[in-house]
Amino acid sequence: MVRGSGLRYPPGMVEVPIRRILVPLDLGRDPEDLCSYAVRLGRQLGADLLFLSVIDSPTIIALIERRPAVQEGPREGFRDRLLSDARTILRALIDQAQGEGVRATGHAIVSEEPVREILAEAENRGVDLILLLHEPHGSLARLFLGDAADAVLEGAPCPVLLMRVGKTKA
């Protein structure tokens, strides 16, 4: 049985406690549904949450920084402002989780390889579950763009729970 959840394992299956849940976030989208679900799941399982935002376009950020309008802004670079904005959003999500009795931490990084960063974070932090938002694409889009969720599923060192966009219940 998973601590207090009412879930039962099939006969012969080993109970594996879930103590740490990695929640990768695309802060370009509204993270509210995923975060609310993560908090409920964390509370139900007695697990800590680790929010991770991977800002995945360093080249674009560098190009935008070179634009005169951006250069006339504050001295800190565009990349630093993006990271600062991401940290502000993450802080609010962490505070929300902690306000509901769930321990949470989080951080933001810039990387051209979000899947690699998610997998490394899962491995380095010893997470027991990755909770990932998944937006199904048509087969043509998947053929050309690939699917980050598939890549995380294939490389994850732990179970992955996919939450489909718009499919949660409050």
Euclidean distance between CA atoms 64 and 139, whole angstroms = 32
Q: What's the pLDDT at 64?
A: 67
Per-residue pLDDT tens, the chain, 170 aa: give them.
344 455 565 676 667 789 999 999 988 777 788 899 999 999 999 999 999 999 887 656 666 666 666 555 555 577 787 888 889 999 999 999 999 999 999 999 988 899 999 999 999 999 999 999 877 655 444 444 457 888 898 999 999 998 877 654 54
Q: Give CA–CA dist 92/165, Å, rounded.
A: 21
Classify 110 as helix, strand or coil: strand
Distance of alpha carbon 2 from the chain centroid? 23
Distance CA 79, CA 84 (A): 9
CA distance 118 to 38: 16
Give the pLDDT score at 27.
Answer: 80
Give Rg (Cα) of the chain.
18
pLDDT (0 to 100) of residue 60: 66
The pLDDT, as a whole number, for residue 3 is: 44
Measure the CA–CA gap between 30 and 110, rounded to whole angstroms.
19
Which residue from 132, 138, 130 is spatially nearest to 157, judged by alpha carbons?
130
Contact present, 112 and 57 (Cβ < 8 Å)? yes
Burial of 101 (0-12, 13-18, 19+ CB in 10 A): exposed
Element (H, E) at 56: none
Which domains, ranges and CATH numbers included, belong to the chain?
20-56+87-164 (3.40.50.620)
Q: What pLDDT is attached to residue 71?
A: 53
pLDDT value at residue 14: 62
| pLDDT for 80 | 82
∠ CA 86-87-92, rounded to 5° = 100
What is the pLDDT, as a whole number, of residue 141?
42
What is the reported pLDDT for 45?
A: 94
